[in-house]
Amino acid sequence: MASFSTLSCSLALFLFFSLNIMASAQLSSTFYDTSCPQALPTIKKAVIAAVAKERRMGASLLRLHFHDCFVQGCDGSVLLDDTASFTGEKTAKPNANSLRGFDVVDTIKSQIESVCKQTVSCADILAVAARDSVVALGGPTWAVLLGRRDSTTASLSEANSDLPSPNSDLSGLISAFAKKGLSTSDMVALSGAHTIGQARCVSFRDRIYNDTNIDPTCVTVLKAKCPQSGGDDNLAPLDAVTPTIFDNFYYKNLLNKKGLLHSDQQLFNGGSTDSQVSSYATNFAKFFSDFPSAMINMGNISPLTGTDGEIRTNCRKIN
């Protein structure tokens, strides 16, 4: 017979997941159809303009959504600036001198406020901008679920502890995503976001100087960009073949030991995720089908809905 403590834990888990499902269920792709019909077209136009100006910005906007959702859930907390009495997430180790695109979000928010005052959350702007960025770079589209509200808090400590490190091994990656309610399959699909964008030398230095499961030609090229000391902010493309096109070359690179980050190559290194990587490398359509589903799952991480949180008028500060 189950102990009282076991039953209590089971009940607590049931309530936790039930509440999460209820919160996620409140999100809807038609949330702004009546209250702000110009919301999605306004975001799309701004994202297209930003990506046309700098194609790397597409990857930066996609990454903002990811770094938002993995800390306190998808609540816009990553956008909050530090003040004399408030510490945000921007100075966390995974974010400092690394996250970008805040100015683009400011522009979008300003444009949205001019057509629908205090109606569209910054958290939803990040979710839509991530989708529009993927599409602008040739990737798949999906119906973004909306209705998130903005947090009035942030967590520097959670940003430092919960965002996966570029030096993570496979078990660490699986655990980090599982902690957010995401499956291993979600993790492999979401990692395909690394088919666009660039990484700083400090993120891949250990790999090129210490790992053995890396193509020797890549090592030579990367060492020229990333010395053993200094040059921390020097950049290299996560996908050296098509760095500004959203495709499946990220996975093809992994088959050839050309993953830029240690954490990337862990997905194809004799482990449980090898078969999924192989599938995406050979089946473009499969990746383009699974990535949107995984993005929707990620966007459902602990959203604030109803009367929780607020709708910020400036994404950088609490009202």
89 is in an annotated binding site: yes
Q: Do the Cβ atoms of 223 and 215 come closer than 8 Å?
A: no
Choosing from 63, 67, 207, 262, which is the catalytic residue? 67
Residue 152 annotated as part of some ligand binding site = no
68 is in an annotated binding site: yes
- Could you give the CA distance from residue 159 to residue 285 in angstroms, rounded to a whole number? 33
194 is in an annotated binding site: yes
Q: Is 75 labeled as ligand-binding?
A: yes
- Residue 202 in contact with residue 234, Cβ under 8 Å? no
Supply angle C-alpha 235, 47, 130, rounded to 5: 70
| Count of residues in the chain | 319
Does 227 belong to an annotated binding site?
A: no
150 is in an annotated binding site: no
Alpha carbon distance 57, 47 (integer Å): 9
According to the annotation, is 195 in a ligand binding site? yes
Q: Known catalytic residue: 65?
A: no
Measured distance CA(182)–CA(266) in Å, rounded:
18
**71 annotated as ligand-binding:** yes
d(CA 210, CA 146): 43
Residues contributing to the annotated binding site for substrate:
164
Residues contributing to the annotated binding site:
68, 71, 73, 75, 77, 89, 164, 194-195, 239, 242, 247
Residues contributing to the annotated binding site for Ca(2+):
68, 71, 73, 75, 77, 89, 195, 239, 242, 247
Catalytic site positions: 67
Residues contributing to the annotated binding site for heme b:
194
